[in-house]
Every structure is written in C-alpha cells, then in structure tokens.
Chains A and B, each alone.
Chain A
Amino acid sequence: MKTAVVLLLALLAEAGGNVCLSQGMREMSAASQPGSPAIVALLLWGLANPTVWLGMGLLGVFFGLYAVALSWADLSVVLPATALGYVLNVACGAYVLHEAVTPARWAGSLLIGLGVCCVSWSERRPALTGRTR
C-alpha cells in the first residue's frame, strides 16, 4: 500500500514537472532568435527560466520518491507503474498545454496502458502465490 501511495505521488510530481518544463522551454523557444540555436545555448537559456526550475524541482521530488519505491519493490514492479505516467502526460499535453493530440497518439497511449496492465498483472501472480510486498 505504501509503495502504491509513493508511486502515485511520484507520477503526479513527474507529470507536473514535465508540463512545467515543456511550458518553460516553449517560452524560451518563442523568445529566441529564428533558426536552430546551439544545444549548450539552448540549455543555458532553459536554466535561466523559473518555470524550468519549478519543473526540475518537481522531477527531483519524483526521483526521490522513485528511489524510495525501488528500495521497497523490484524494478519490474515499479517501472510498469510509472509507465502509466505516459498516458497522464499525453492527457496533460492535450488539456493543459493544448497540444494537438491525434487519434493515433491516443490509441498509442491506450496500447501503452494495456501493456503496462499486462506487465503489472504478470508481476502480481507470484505475489498472489506467496511473495509479499
């Protein structure tokens, strides 16, 4: 139960962090000169943006929670659970950032979700037959 709670908090922190990062990097792209800037200059621009720092802070929270979850459970249990964040991120991209998400992307997200469910289910079977978490 505690692993599930920690993972849920981690997913929320990751989704929030990604949205902030995306917003911040877009602000930077909009303010930069036309053309393709060098990668280092791009990163320096990004690191001067407060929205990017908020995003990095939230991803730091995600990392801490993820590490704690890995100390309690196998990677093969923790990783599928965090993969559900992909679907959350696509939804955030669509509804928070108003990005154009095509039906194919939604279908892809659905398949990812189904795949994650399969993996989670396969990992629960040994737990039901004796392994406790």
Chain B
Amino acid sequence: MKIALMLAILILCGALGDVSLAKGMKQVGALPTLRLGALLVFGSKMARNGAVLLGLLSLIAGFLTFLVLLSWVDLSFIVPATSLHFVLATCGAKWMLQEHISCVRWCGTVLVGLGVALLALP
C-alpha cells in the first residue's frame, strides 16, 4: 500500500514538473548558443521564471519520493512504473500547453500504459 501511495506521489510530481518546466522554458525562450555568457544569461532567466521554479520544486519532490522508493523496491520496477507520468504529462501538454495530440499519439500512450501494467505483474 505504501509503495502504491509513493508511486502515485512520484507520478503526479513528475507530470506536474514536466508540464510546468515545459511551460517555463517556452517563456524563457530557446538557448541561442552554448557559449558561457549565453548559458549564464539563460540560467538567470530560468531562475527568475515562476513556472520553471514550480517545475523544479515538483521534480525535487518527486526525486525525494524516488529515493525512498529505491530503498524499498527494485530500480527495474520503479522506473518503468513511473512511466505512467508520461500519460498524465501528455494530458497536461494537451490541456495546459495546447499541444496537438493525434490519434496515433494516444495509441502510443495506451501502449505505454499496457507496458506499465505488465511491469506490475509478479
């Protein structure tokens, strides 16, 4: 039960983190070059963006949950199981970021969900 609860927290934090980070990075804009000066400016913009910070906090919370889970169950179970956050993040990309999600993409998402169900088998 505790493993299922922690997995749910991990998945929710991951999805929220991905969507918020993506939203924030779109606001920050594309990294123009890999020069040190540009990287510093880019990092500064990221650090001042609310959506990036929310995404970062969510991912850190998910990371701490992940650490606890690692001490309880195998890595080869946890990491694939967290791919459910992929489904949630896809929904977030559609409804919060207004990205176009085609039928083929939804099929792919269902395949990922089935894969996760298989991973839960003993």
Contacts and interface: CB of A to CB of B under 8 A. Distances in A.
A123 B46 contact: no
Q: Interface residues of A toward B: which range?
A: 35 or more
A133 to B, nearest CB: 11
Interface in B63-122: 63-64, 66-68, 70-71, 74-77, 79-80, 83, 86, 89-90, 93, 97, 99-105, 107-119, 121-122
Given A29-B71, A76-B90, A105-B119, A112 B83 contact: yes
A116 to B, nearest CB: 7
B37 to A, nearest CB: 15
Contacts of B29: 71
Nearest to A85: B79
Contacts of A83: 83, 86, 112
Interface of B: 18-19, 21-22, 25-26, 28-31, 42, 46, 52, 56, 59, 63-64, 66-68, 70-71, 74-77, 79-80, 83, 86, 89-90, 93, 97, 99-105, 107-119, 121-122
